[in-house]
Amino acid sequence: GAVARNEALRASKYLVRAIRRRWSGYHRRSRVESKMNCIKLLGQSLMARDFERQVAELQVRIAVLNGYTALGIPVTVAVG
């Protein structure tokens, strides 16, 4: 009985944690933080001095990252 009880508690802990993460948007926030880290790795600072050019520079960085992300996303096809 103790083994079944322990497994039930472990399962409920896992489910509560998963529900809390989904409710709080944890996964999305984590993905955004990792993308921001990637943007920083492309260059620590902006080279342009004008605000409009800084915006353009960031848009180029984001376009490059989106291209890399698109390459990593698997393509699924229904069979049958």
Q: Is the dihedral of CA 68, 72, 75, 76 positive or negative?
A: negative
- The pLDDT of residue 49: 86
Give the pLDDT of residue 51.
Answer: 92
| pLDDT score, position 4 | 83
Q: Dihedral of CA 68/74/77/78: which sign?
A: negative
pLDDT at residue 52, rounded to an integer: 92
Under the phi-then-psi rule, with left for phi > 0, alpha for psi from -120 to 50, and beta for the rest, what region is 74?
beta
Does residue 56 contact residue 62 with C-beta atoms inside 8 Å? no
* Residues of the chain scoring pLDDT < 50: none
Confidence (pLDDT) at 72 = 74
Residue 48: the pLDDT is 82
Task: Provide the pLDDT for residue 14.
Answer: 79
